[in-house]
Amino acid sequence: MSDHGEGPAIGIDLGTTNLCVAVWQNGRAEIIVNDQGKRTTPSYVAFTHTERLVGDAAKTQVARNPTNSVFDAKRLIGRRFSDPLVQSDINHFPFKVIEGPGDTPMIIVEYKGKERHFSAEEISSMVLRRMREIAEDYLGTIVKNAVVTVPAYFNDSQRKATRDAAGLAGLNVLRIINEPTAATIAYGLHRMDSSIGKKNVLIFDLGGGTTDVSLITIEKGVFEVKAVAGDTHLGGEDFDNRMVKHFVNIFKRQHKVDISKNSKALRRLKNACEKAKEVLSSAMETTIDVDSLCNGIDFISTITRAKFAELNMDLFRKCIHIVEKCLTDAKMDKSCVHDVVVTGGSSRIPKVQELLREFFNGKELCKCINPDEAVACGAAVQAAILTGMGNEKLQDIVLLDVTPLSLGIEVHGSDMSIVIPRNTAIPTKKKEIYTTMRDNQTSMLFSVYMGEGDRTCDNNLLGQFELSGIPLAPRGVTKAKLCFDIDTNRILNVSAKEMTTGVTSKITFTNYKGRLSSEENDRMVQDAEICKAEDDEDRKKFEAWLKFGGHVVNGIATVAGLYFMGAGKIKFK
């Protein structure tokens, strides 16, 4: 139960391209609008010589300040710098990313005349803090507690990094939940009274940076996740990049000028492509028109819906393969799916919807929830349940989730031995027997990994622990029983017991434990407070300037009024 002094708990959809925040109020989940009156806020942070901008203000100026405008931090959060996907992304970013301590990606910008280094967690914390402030302004009270959503296929490191980011923003994360699960809650909430029997619902969530598919069974308020599948690096940004590459080639062919290394030109072209993509969801053709794109050359070109689909067809088909994988893991035939619910901004793309309908043999897609807001609404419902803010209707909701990725240990040097396969229902307990690899071995080291790679180097290391004091024996004789136990809060306990002596050892992994060291966390918290103080000071100066400017304008108006009214022959010396 949350402290009343910390205000109501909110739900935050931390998207790759946009954020959305909601709260349970007046018997329903309400979207909180930002200071621009908009229901979503861009996931952008910009740094200038005078200030730091977050959200709409940051995105508005990105074309003239591309190297210091940071976006898509979600694609870096919890990843290693050496990750091939990170290396691929760096080629598309106008800002610089370098290798930081522990193989973490560090973003370099120039802020107030100085070079600054920020982690993806710090950038994400800035937009999360902005969402918290938006909620506090709307609700008129302090907000500390939140449920934050992540892609279903986020690994443990990415989930922990997201929790770290929220902590830096001054938020207590009540729970991290999967985006498609949150969307399902929003979908199922108003159907709980009317639904008859069991319903199998497939949630297809195609956002700005990720694709998530979940198969969920709803029955009498129980939301049981049967399987999840996804790609944390497939979304609207990738479709935009394909279009940008297409027009870069056209510009080069027409004018013999290569703009692929011109960050300002690329950003302006990308802005035009983003708008064109939106238009093509309702029109068959649109025009790309950018004044003075490069070297004073105006660029005008057209693109049809069919051409856009052609440029991205392999990516669209990849989305359908993810749907197939989810159904296969759930051991369910597509004919058993009652509703196919689409959410996420990119799910509006006509070709994607067409491919989905074809896959489900012409079945009409369910578009009953707002694709931009459903995830935040579901998170707000979960926040209300966890804090007791909801009504009786919410107390009937039970959420049963699964493990998104396999869990296991390293054997034979670098092989992954799976103990808990992906899509295993939570809570769960699994046991396996392992033996010594060398003669007279007195201890066994267990390295716990999460992931789907056959080799541990392709997976995420969660931690290690040692079972020592085992009796001397030839290799393969001494046996240890390894037990993986995950509870309802996703806390993983791994224990090992030598079967003849009873010697035991164990380790606990929890989403509450961040990947940052205490020193790094303390530094980031201090930096965040400094940035906030600087922002507050800049705001005060601006408000004072406005106030002063108002007095000057009023004074001029008064003098001008007296003059035009003929109140005297005023002379200015």
**199-237 as b/e, with b when 16 or more CB fall inside 10 Å?**
ebbbbbbbbbbbbbbbbbbbeebebbbbbbbbbbbbbbb
Take residue 141 and report the two structure tokens written for it.
């009270």
Catalytic residue status for 240? no
33: exposed, middle or buried (C-beta count within 10 Å: 0-12, 13-18, 19+)? middle
Partner residues linked to 417 by β-bridges? 409
Q: Does the annotation count 392 as an active-site position?
A: no
What is the rounded distance in angstroms from the CA atom of residue 425 to the CA atom of residue 258?
Answer: 52
Beta strands in 451-532 (DSSP E): 460-468, 479-486, 492-498, 504-509
Torsion from C-alpha of 180, 183, 185, 188, nearest 10 degrees? -110
Q: How far apart are CA 5 and CA 287, in angstroms?
A: 53
Q: How many CA atoms lie within 13 A of 328 on its CB side?
A: 8
Listed in sequence order, the residues at least 6 apart from 23 whose beta carbon sits closer than 8 Å to its beta carbon are 8, 9, 10, 11, 29, 30, 32, 135, 138, 139, 380, 383
* Alpha carbons 82 and 457: distance in angstroms, whole number: 12
Task: Name the one residue in this structure whose structure tokens are 């300040």.
Answer: 65
Q: Which of 59, 74, 144, 277 is catalytic?
A: 74
For the chain, the C-alpha Rg in angstroms (whole number) is 27
Helix (H, G, I), strand (E, B) or coil at 350: helix
Residue 242: closest CA among 280, 213, 204: 280
Query: What stretch of H or E contains 433?
Result: strand 428-435
The catalytically annotated residue of 89, 122, 156, 205 is: 205
d(CA 447, CA 456): 9
Which residue in the list 72, 133, 179, 372 is annotated as catalytic?
179
Residue 179 bears catalytic tag = yes
Residue 101 preceded by cis peptide, ω within 30: no
Sequence letter at residue 355: L
Cβ contacts of 492-497, under 8 Å, gap ≥ 24: 492/407, 492/448, 492/462, 494/446, 494/448, 494/465, 496/434, 496/444, 496/446, 496/465, 496/467, 497/467
Ordered strands of the 96-99 beta sheet? 96-99, 105-111, 114-119
Q: Show which residues are catalytic.
A: 13, 74, 179, 205
